[in-house]
A and B are shown apart, each in its own frame.
Chain A
Amino acid sequence: MHAKAHSPAAPAERARPLYGVIAEYKDVDSLMAAARKVRDAGYTRWDTHTPFPVHGIEGAMGFGMTRLPWFVLCCGLTGLSIAVLLQWWTNAVDYPFLISGKPLFALPPAVPIMFELTVLFSALGTFFGMWGLNGLPLLHHPLFEHEAFKRVTDDRFFLAIESQDPKFGLESTKALLASTGVCADVVPVYGNGDKGALPNWMKNFAIVMPILLLVPLAWIVTARHSTSPKTRLQLIPDMDQQLKFRNQTRNAFFADQRNERPRIEGTIPRGLLREDQQLHTGKTGPGENDWATQFPASIAVNEALLKRGQERFNITCAACHGQTGVGDGLVSQRATGKYPSWIPPISLHAENLLVQPVGQTFNTIRNGIRTMPAYSQQLTVEDSWAIVAYVKALQKSQAFPVDKLSPEERQKVASVPR
C-alpha cells in the first residue's frame, strides 16, 4: 500500500528515520479497545492522541499517576519559606523600623504574603513542571509529518507505536493495529531530520537579537562613565522646574534686572541687628583667637538652661556624639565599618576640649569643624549656648572623682546598668 514510503531503494527517504506506525479511529470506544490490545501485547513506547482528555484511558493504556503533585508541594514549601525569611530578614533584621506600634516581625501580618508566595510558587511549579514533564514546547514532532494527524485537534483519535519499542516490527505491529477497528489504513510515519531543527531565520534571529539587546546596555554603561556639560533630557519635570526665582538670576521686573535685592541703605532687617558680638560669634575681640571664656551677659547659666541644653543636645548632637559625648551615637555606630570614608566624631572629653573656651565651642556648633557640619540653621543662638553649657556639664560629669560624690549619688551611679 505505502510501499514507496519505506522502500530502502529511495535514497531521499534514507535521511528520514522511521518514527513508528499510526492508526486512526473515529470514536472513543474503538480507541479504548485498541489501547487495551496494545497494552496487553506488551508494548511500552506508544501513545494515544485525542482531541480532548479521555477519562479512563490511563487504565486502558496502563500508566499511573503523575509525580507532578509532589513537585508542586516542594515549590509551595519553597515559596512559604521565602516569604517568611524575606519578611523577617528585611523588616526585623536588616532594616528594622517600628510602624504603628507593631512588632518588627509578627505572624498575623506576615500571613497574607506567606499565602500569596506559596500559591505563586506552587502555580509556577505546576505550570512549568507540567510542560517539563510533558517534554514541551517542541518545535516539531515526527507525527506532524502525517497529514491526517491534523484532525487530532478536531475529531479524530490516533494510536502511534514507536519504532524504538523493543516489540516493534513494522509488519507485525501494523497487523496488530489493523485488527483494532481502525477507520483508515495503518501507516508508517517517518520523521524529517531537517524539520526538527530550528529554521534558519530563527537561528539568525537568536544571534542578532541578543546583540541588539546589548546596545542599550552598552549605551547606559558608557553614559555612566562620561560627563557632559549639556542639560539632561527631562521627560518628566518631577518638580525640578519650579515657579521661583533662583539666586544670581535675571529678573525683568526690576530696573537693574537683579533678582537679589540689595539692602536699602541705612536699614537692617528685623531680627538681624547683632549688637552683642559675644552672643552671636562667641568672640570678644576682632582677633582670630579672641574666644570668649565667659557666657554672654544675656544668657543666664542656671538649671533651666542646662535642661534645655540637654534636650537640644540629645536631639541634635547625640545622633553622632552619643548621649555621653564619647562619640558612640547611633549614626556613627551604623556608619563605622560600613563606609570606609566615615570619620567617627571625636570624644567631647578629649584633653583639648576640656580646656576649650566656651566661645570656641559655640563657634564650632554654629559653623562646624572638619567634617562636622554647621548647625546655625537648626539651632537658635540661645539654644547653641544652652548646648555649650550642657557640654561643659557633661565634661565635668565624666571626669568627676568618685570619692567626692555623696553616698546617695554613689549608689545612684552604681545602679546605672552599663
Chain B
Amino acid sequence: MTSSAMGNASAIVIDPDIDPRQRKSLVEGDHDFTSITASIANVAERPKPPKAWYVAMAISLPLTLTLFGIIGYLIFKGVGIWGNRQPVSWAWPIVNFVFWVGIAHAGTLISAILFLFRQKWRTSINRAAEAMTIFAVVCAGTFPAIHVGRIWMEWFLAPVPNDLEMWPQFRSPLLWDVFAVSTYATVSLLFWYMGMVPDLATFRDRATTKIKKVAYGIFALGWRGSSRQWHRYERAYLLLAALAMPLVLSVHSVVSFDFAVSILPGWHTTIFPPYFVAGAIFSGFAMVVTLMVPARALFGLKHVITMRHLENMNKVIVATGTMVGYAYAMEFFIAWYSGSTYEQFAFINRAFGPYAWAYWIMVSCNVIAPQFFWFKKIRTNPLAMVVVCIFVNIGMWFERFVITISTLNRDFLPSAWGYFSPTLFDILTLCGSFGLFMTLFLLFCRYLPMVAIAEVKSVMPQAHPHHHGDDAHGAGTHSH
C-alpha cells in the first residue's frame, strides 16, 4: 500500500510556494558565492547610489536638522514649548518614546528569536532590521533625554557617587527604563556589529582605495575566516541570541511597567507586559516591511530579499496584530468583569469619550488593517503590503497616544478634566525623529553591508557538506 500511495502522492503537482515536500530556496535565481558577494557589495561599491536615495535624503536630512534645531530651542527655552499641561502631563514625548522603542523590537527579534527558532529566512533581512533597531533606539532615547528639560542634570539617573550623598531611586519604574533601554541599545549594537565583522572583512578585501581599506579594515578587526574563530563566533552569536530573546521581551515589559505599576485605571492592568511586547513586534515588523519593499527594489536585492521573506513577515504581522486585538478585548472584558466603576469608566471613556476618534483609528489600523493579510494576494503584493504596514504604524502610534492621553485627560477628579492639544513643536519633533531615523538608515544602506553576506552564503545549498564521515563532534579533543 505504502509504495503505491507514495508513488501517487509524488505525482501530485502543487504550487511550489506551499509544497510541503520541499523547502523553497532562500536565494532566487542561479547564484553562487561569488555572485552573491558581488551583488550585495555592489550596493556600497557602485559609484553613485540610485536617484531615489538622493530624493529620500533630501526629505529626511532637513527633517533631521529641524529636529536638532527644535532640541536646541527646547533646551534653551524649556519643555513649556510642548503641549504637556495638567492633567495631561505625559504626552507626546512618551508616546513617541514608546512608539520608537516598539519599532526597535523588530531587529533583535528577527536576529535573535528567529535565529533560535532556526528560521533561516531571517538571514537576508536581519542586518537591515538590526540597523533599524539601533536607529529606532536612538530616536526613542532622544525623547526621555530631552523631555527632562535640564538635560545637564541627566547624570542624576546614573548611580554616580556625588557630593549630595544621594543615590537614584531604584524602586522607580522610570529608572528601570533607563537600565532596560540602555542595556537593549548596548546589546543590539554588539549583536549588530558582531554580525557585521565578517562582511566588513569582505568589504576590506574588495576595497579599491586605501581609505576604504583602512576604514573597513579597522572595523573588521583582522578577521580571517578561521574555522576555529568561526566556531567561537557562532557560539557567541548563539549566546547573544539567547540573551537577546528575553531582553527583547523585557524592554517593552519594563516600558509597560512605567504605566502599569500605577493605580490609574486603563494603565494598571496585568496583561500590559506581553501586550506591549506583541504590539512592539507588530509595529517593528510593519516598519521593516515598509522600508524593505522599496530598498530591495532600489538596490537590486530582490534575489536575496524575496517575496517569501516579505510574505513571512506579513504573516508575523497578522499574528501579532491579532494578539494585540486579543489584548484590547481582554482589557475590555476584564474591565467589565472586575466590577470596578473606575475600570469600567476608563474604558468607556476610551471608546466613547473625547478621544474616541483616536481609539477607533487605533482599532481600525491595528486590528482590522492587518486582517487583509489573510489573503495571499494582498500579502504578496508589494504596494498593498506597504499600504497596510503604514496603516499599522499609524495605528501603533495611536495606540500609545490612546493609552497615555485618554487615561490622563479624565482622572478621578472631574473638575480636573481637560483636553490635550499638541503644539507645532510637538508635531515637528515627531516628524524630525522620522527624519533622523531615515537619514541614519539611508547612510547605512549606502556604506555598510546591508545584507549579511556570510549568513546568506551559509543557507545556500552549496554551503552544506554532502557527507559527514566519521566526525564525532568534539570527541576526545581539547576544548579551547
Quick check: do A and B touch in the complex, using CB within 8 A? yes
Query: Which A residues have a C-beta under 8 Å from some C-beta of B?
Result: 27-29, 32, 36, 47-69, 72, 86-87, 90-91, 94-95, 97, 99-100, 102, 106, 109-110, 112-113, 115-117, 119-120, 122-124, 126-127, 129-131, 133-134, 136-141, 143-144, 149-155, 158, 236-238
4 shortest A-B CB distances, which residue pairs? A59-B471, A138-B222, A64-B474, A130-B236
B370 to chain A, nearest CB (A): 30
Interface residues on chain B, size class: 35 or more
Q: Are B150 and A136 in contact (CB under 8 A)?
A: no
Q: Does B16 contact A (CB under 8 A)?
A: no
Q: Are B171 and A99 in contact (CB under 8 A)?
A: yes
Q: Are B221 and A136 in contact (CB under 8 A)?
A: yes
Q: Are B232 and A28 in contact (CB under 8 A)?
A: no
Q: Are A66 and B231 in contact (CB under 8 A)?
A: yes
**Contact string against A for B residues 169-186, beta-carbon threshold 8 Å, 1 for contact and 0 otherwise:** 111110110011001001
The contact sample of 9 A-B pairs, CB cut-off 8 A, is: A29-B465, A53-B230, A55-B464, A109-B171, A123-B187, A127-B190, A140-B222, A144-B224, A152-B205
Interface SS of chain B: helix, strand, loop or mixed? helix
Looking at B323-331, B402-410, B455-463, the stretch in contact with chain A turns out to be B455-463
Known: A63-B478, A91-B169. A69 touches B235 (CB 8 A): yes
With beta carbons under 8 angstroms apart, the residue of B224, B233, B236 that contacts A143 is B224
Q: Are B170 and A56 in contact (CB under 8 A)?
A: no
Q: Does B352 contact A (CB under 8 A)?
A: no
Query: Which B residues have a C-beta under 8 Å from some C-beta of A?
Result: 32-34, 37, 75-76, 150, 152, 159, 165-173, 175-176, 179-180, 183, 186-187, 190-191, 194, 198, 201-202, 204-206, 221-236, 239-240, 243-244, 246-247, 250, 254, 257, 454-455, 457-458, 462-469, 471-475, 477-480
Closest chain A residue, CB of each to CB of B477? A64
Cα–Cα, bound, A141→B231 (Å):
19
Cα–Cα, bound, A102→B198 (Å):
50
With beta carbons under 8 angstroms apart, the residue of B76, B202, B224, B472 that contacts A49 is B224
Q: Are B474 and A119 in contact (CB under 8 A)?
A: no
Q: Which residues of chain B have C-beta atoms less than 8 A from A64's C-beta?
A: 474-475, 477-480
B123 to chain A, nearest CB (A): 10
Cα–Cα, bound, A69→B238 (Å):
10
A209 to chain B, nearest CB (A): 15
Q: Which residues of chain B have C-beta atoms less than 8 A from A112's C-beta?
A: 173, 176, 179-180, 250, 254, 257
A151 to chain B, nearest CB (A): 8
B285 to chain A, nearest CB (A): 23
With beta carbons under 8 angstroms apart, the residue of A61, A117, A153 that contacts B198 is A153
Closest chain B residue, CB of each to CB of A115? B250
Q: Are B232 and A58 in contact (CB under 8 A)?
A: no
Q: Which residues of chain B have C-beta atoms less than 8 A from A67's C-beta?
A: 479-480
Q: Which residues of chain A have C-beta atoms less than 8 A from B477's C-beta?
A: 62-64
Q: Which residues of chain B have C-beta atoms less than 8 A from A153's C-beta?
A: 37, 198, 201-202, 204-206, 223, 225, 454
Q: Are B474 and A28 in contact (CB under 8 A)?
A: no
Q: Are B34 and A154 in contact (CB under 8 A)?
A: yes
Q: Are B223 and A90 in contact (CB under 8 A)?
A: no
Q: Are A53 and B478 in contact (CB under 8 A)?
A: no
Cα–Cα, bound, A238→B152 (Å):
10
Cα–Cα, bound, A100→B152 (Å):
27
Q: Which residues of chain A have C-beta atoms less than 8 A from B254's C-beta?
A: 112, 116
A59-B475, A63-B231, A91-B167 known, 11 other contacts, Cβ within 8 Å:
A51-B457, A52-B458, A58-B227, A60-B471, A62-B471, A66-B235, A94-B165, A109-B176, A123-B190, A124-B190, A150-B205
With beta carbons under 8 angstroms apart, the residue of B172, B205, B233, B474 that contacts A59 is B474
Closest chain B residue, CB of each to CB of A47? B226
Cα–Cα, bound, A113→B168 (Å):
13
Cα–Cα, bound, A141→B229 (Å):
14
Q: Which residues of chain A have C-beta atoms less than 8 A from B169's C-beta?
A: 91, 97, 99
Q: Are A47 and B468 in contact (CB under 8 A)?
A: no
Known: A66-B479, A119-B187, A119-B246. A130 touches B232 (CB 8 A): yes
Cα–Cα, bound, A48→B225 (Å):
8
